[in-house]
Amino acid sequence: MICDDAKNPESFRDFLSLYSSQAKYIGNKIYFYDDIDSTNNEAKRKSNCCDGTVFVAAKQTAGRGRRGNTWVSDDKGIWMSILLKPKIKSELAQCITLVAGLSVSEAIDGSMIKWPNDIVIGNKKLGGILTELISLGGSEFAVVTGIGVNVNTTSFHESISKIATSVYLHTGIKSSRKVLFKDICSNFEKNYSILLKSGFAGIRDKYKSRCITIGRDVILKGVEGDSFAFAEDIDKNGGLIVRNNKGVFTVNSGEVSVRGLFGYV
């Protein structure tokens, strides 16, 4: 299972083409690019494509993270965006980002989720999710869920090296992007269908079992500044239940960013 295909984009391309010919839903159509600005941008440009189309790039030249951050995307990671056209309320669409985080974490042994959807291992960030809604006119919308995983990256710029890691840096083993891609897609397909059928409640227990934020002191970084709280639980809609000197309340992923008190996690 372990092999380094990072130096061989052709083989990744061939694999994706075979994968899409056999995929039932997620990845039934896959676009692969040697390099592109951002797979999320491309998915938005191609939002007329069908539900479940996946956009994958060997490299991104303008990868985007949450909160306007840049996402450094060398040729050794998984950079992919899934285009979805669910017939659900936009509130539930926010949970798709949690589905993606769970699906990535399930694909990488030992990884956990920092609420809402940072993938962490050994107290460092291994991957992240950027979900965006696109209006298709009227009340119709599409969802683009961008997934970034640092797979075989060997070093990071000193500005992020204290908080960023890759599967390789953590394990010392080069991993196959093909295997990881396949596992992420099949986990996503399974978890997303549960979400559509049963709401977030259907995956809540699995999500909680991988969420490293619960039971920790956290800093809530909101528009009105920072505040301290204790993370108690995840509610039935995927919100984070916290307690501070004002009482117990729920924060939603769009409203705050969470930091550990003693570092990134």
Residues contributing to the site for ligand BTN (CB under 6 A): 38-40, 60, 63-66, 69, 71, 73, 79-81, 118, 128-130, 146-148
Supply the minimum distance, in Å, between the C-beta of residue 128 and ligand BTN.
Answer: 2
Nearer to ligand BTN, 182 or 230 (CB): 182
Shortest distance (Å) from residue 101 CB to ligand BTN: 10
- Closer to ligand BTN at the Cβ: 148 or 239? 148
Least distance in angstroms from the C-beta of 238 to ligand BTN: 16
Closest to ligand BTN by CB, 79 or 115: 79
Name which of 39 and 191 has its Cβ closer to ligand BTN: 39
From the number of C-beta atoms within 10 Å of its C-beta (0-12, 13-18, 19+), residue 242 rates as buried
Residue 74 CB, shortest distance to ligand BTN, in Å, is 12
C-alpha 9/C-alpha 75 separation (Å) is: 9
Nearer to ligand BTN, 23 or 144 (CB): 144
- Least Å distance, CB 72 to ligand BTN, is 10
Residue-wise DSSP of 126-154: EEEEEEEEEEEETTEEEEEEEEEEE-S--
Side chain identity, residue 31: Y
Whole-angstrom CA distances from 211 to 118, 217, 246 are 10, 14, 24
CA distances in angstroms from 186 to 48, 62, 103, 224, listed in the order given:
23, 27, 8, 40
H/E stretch holding 231 reads strand 225-234
> Cβ-count burial of 258 within 10 angstroms (0-12 exposed, 13-18 middle, 19+ buried)?
buried
Tokens of 89: 């309320």
Residues 6+ apart with CB under 8 A from 19: 27, 30, 181, 182, 185
Element housing 194 (H / E) = helix 177-198
* Least CB distance to ligand BTN at residue 139 (A): 26
Q: Please, what is the minimum distance in Å from the beta carbon of residue 258 to ligand BTN?
A: 12
Between 79 and 200, CB nearer to ligand BTN: 79
Measured from the CB atom, the residue of 69 and 209 that comes closer to ligand BTN is 69
